[in-house]
Amino acid sequence: MTPSQLALYLSKLGLETPKNCNLAFVEQLIKAHLARFSFSSINAMQDKLLSLEFDVVFVRVVEKEQGGYCFEHNKIVMLALQSLGFDVSPLLARVLLNGKWDNPRSHRVTLLKYNHSEYLIDVGFGSKTPRILIPIDNTTDVCDENFVYHIERSAQRVVLTLTSPKSMPLYDVEFSETFESDCDVAHFHCHQHPDSLFVNHLVLSRMTETERHTLNNLLYVYRNEETAEVRETLIKDAVQLKIIVKEAFLLTISEHEISWVHDKAALNMPETH
């Protein structure tokens, strides 16, 4: 990441270049990134070949504010932290949400080594993304407000499980050496394979300190963790979708692209009579 890219990125997050590059700053950056740059499958739904060359990713996600998923978001955060002097590297994980333990390694996370301890950073797992650093030196539980994550550590892997408010395994991270080329292969599968979730479904999320915005196909859900308020909105047309995409998820998407993804997402909604 160039100095000008880093300056623009931190500016959009409302952060200044830190005088002390410590864990408190890393966690501040995680929260700011999740609040500013939405997880989105919009580009993947449109049969686009999405380059992971960093300059292209930076323009797509940070400058044009089109959103992205793990291979884009976690690459941006990793390179920003690397530019600030942190010891970070990519890892790949097997997503376990469907209950299968033999899924391909299709999720990118970041390994942070700091003061002889290790942590996972993830800003690209949608609505279940931890808004905190995940310490992985030992088996333990960590809390992110009302969400509790259990870390099971062994010599070769870490399994991250959400235990509250609902119990479910999230992903299995293997400590094998991971190169950008490995991420390129997994990314190609995730945004080009005809059976990929992100190719077929509209999935959006954005999280602040107290709020969670999620969109699954045409069902928009707003949750306020302080007040316990929950609002559900069934999107009726592309015009309403464009408003929600812009106002709730802070994304800049053209009318043509909104119409495309609206029609594709509508095919996944149950018919009402």
Residue 59 in domain:
no
Q: Are residues 222 and 162 in the same domain?
A: no
| pLDDT surpassing 90 at residue 270 | no
The pLDDT score that the predictor gives to residue 273 is: 38
The pLDDT score that the predictor gives to residue 19 is: 87
**Burial grade of 72 (CB within 10 A; 0-12, 13-18, 19 or more):** buried
**Domain boundary pick from 180, 213, 232:** 180
pTM above threshold 0.85: yes
Q: Are residues 227 and 124 in the same domain?
A: no
The pLDDT score that the predictor gives to residue 23 is: 96
Q: Are residues 142 and 80 in the same domain?
A: yes
CATH code of the domain containing 26 = 3.30.2140.20
Query: Which whole number is the average pLDDT over 51-55?
Result: 96
Residue 110 in domain:
yes
Q: Are residues 122 and 8 in the same domain?
A: yes
pLDDT band at 268 (very low <50, low <70, confident <90, very high): confident
pLDDT band at 271 (very low <50, low <70, confident <90, very high): low
Counting the structural domains of the chain, the total is 2
Residue 187 in domain:
no
Domain that holds residue 74: 3-36+70-180
DSSP 8-state symbol, 215: E
Contact in structure between 129 and 207 (CB atoms under 8 Å)? yes
Contact in structure between 127 and 206 (CB atoms under 8 Å)? no
Q: Are residues 103 and 234 in the same domain?
A: no
CATH code of the domain containing 215 = 3.30.2140.10
Residue 48 in domain:
no
Q: Are residues 213 and 173 in the same domain?
A: no
Q: Are residues 164 and 256 in the same domain?
A: no
Residue 64 in domain:
no
Q: Are residues 165 and 241 in the same domain?
A: no
Residue 191 in domain:
no
Per-residue pLDDT tens over the stretch 101-115: 889 999 999 999 999
| C-alpha–C-alpha distance, residues 43 and 76, integer Å | 17
Beta strands in 36-129 (DSSP E): 39-40, 87-95, 105-114, 117-121
| C-alpha–C-alpha distance, residues 84 and 81, integer Å | 5
The pLDDT score that the predictor gives to residue 241 is: 97
